[in-house]
Amino acid sequence: MPSASTENKSIKYIFKMPDSRALEFEILLSADKLSYWVPPDAQKPAWTNHNYYMCEGCKLAGSGVSHCPVAVNLQDVVSTFTTDVSYEIIDLRVVTAERTYSKDKVSMQSGLSSIIGIIMVTSGCPTLDYLRPMVSSHLPFATIDESIYRAMSMYLLAQFTRAKNGLEPDWNLKGLSQIYNEIDAINISMTRRLRAATEEDASLNAVVILDSFAKLVPMSIDGSFGGMEDLFWPYLKDVPNS
């Protein structure tokens, strides 16, 4: 993969394996749209065919796409970790231009869910595109509450942007629930694809983790968004005139 330049956003994942091997993956994203950089020699195994366990309601159906762009972009990571099991303990570093994140003694499935999540969101799936703004402030090792906070904040800022551009905003977050319901279907189909591509369960369970979050977001919107409502008590008072 080429070196990052001013025209690319680079996110490096460095896995230190139990046998002391270091595996490095660099994700390059275009600076403008945060689109995943696809190597010109990217392989397209059978499980990446568009019609192979195609997602229910796929928005690329009938578009002439021959291979699922998400699957094609995942195959390098998936093939590298095909024999790894989800409960293996690794050390992980994530390096961006702004800062470095590190966490020791993290499960393989947790590390893979982070990198797989970025690749899925930036690969050109019309449904997953809605989550792409969060990649600009990627937060590795985020807790469930942090992830829910970021997803809701991103969506509300998107609605503010719509309103500024003369479009109807969705302040009730109904659209966010719909997006995550569609993502749930995508994750289910992706796990079926990955069963054909892997020998062990690390990559499979990484997607299961992502799917668990996809199920939690609509529930949080209808409930108390992860129990964080109490944090906003200052805003429940009258706001003084500025």
* Distance from C-alpha of 242 to C-alpha of 234, rounded to nearest angstrom: 16
Q: Which of 7, 75, 66, 93 is nearest to 38 (CA)?
A: 75
* Distance from C-alpha of 87 to C-alpha of 107, rounded to nearest angstrom: 5
Segment among 2-6, 39-43, 224-228 with least mean pLDDT: 2-6
* H helical segments located in the chain: 69-80, 108-121, 144-164, 174-195, 202-222
Dihedral class, residue 14 (left if φ above 0, else alpha if ψ from -120 to 50, else beta)? beta
- Work out the pLDDT band at 4, boundaries 50, 70, 90: very low
Give yes or no for a contact between 2 and 28, defined as CB atoms under 8 angstroms apart: yes
Pairing verdict, β 100-107 and 89-95: antiparallel
Residues 6 or more apart whose CB falls under 8 angstroms from that of 168 comprise 162
DSSP 36: B
| pTM attached to this predicted model | 0.86
Higher pLDDT, 134 or 224: 134
Higher pLDDT, 118 or 228: 118
Instruction: Say what the pLDDT of residue 202 is.
Output: 67
* Distance from C-alpha of 207 to C-alpha of 193, rounded to nearest angstrom: 11
pLDDT digits (tens, 9 = 90+) for 133-191: 999 999 998 888 888 899 999 999 999 999 999 999 999 999 999 999 999 889 888 88
Segment among 19-23, 64-68, 179-183 with least mean pLDDT: 19-23
Greatest mean pLDDT among 79-93, 129-143, 183-197, 226-240: 129-143
Distances in Å between the alpha carbon of 115 and those of 202, 219, 222, 230?
12, 25, 29, 32
Higher pLDDT, 203 or 42: 42
State the chain's mean pLDDT as an integer: 86
Distances in Å between the alpha carbon of 71 and those of 14, 119, 133, 155, 184?
22, 9, 21, 26, 16
Instruction: Say what the pLDDT of residue 3 is.
Output: 43
Instruction: Say what the pLDDT of residue 240 is.
Output: 62
Higher pLDDT, 52 or 216: 52
Average pLDDT of span 4-11: 73
Q: Please determine, for residue 224, whether its predicted confidence score (pLDDT) is greater than 70.
A: no
Q: Which of 95, 32, 81 is nearest to 207 (CA)?
A: 81
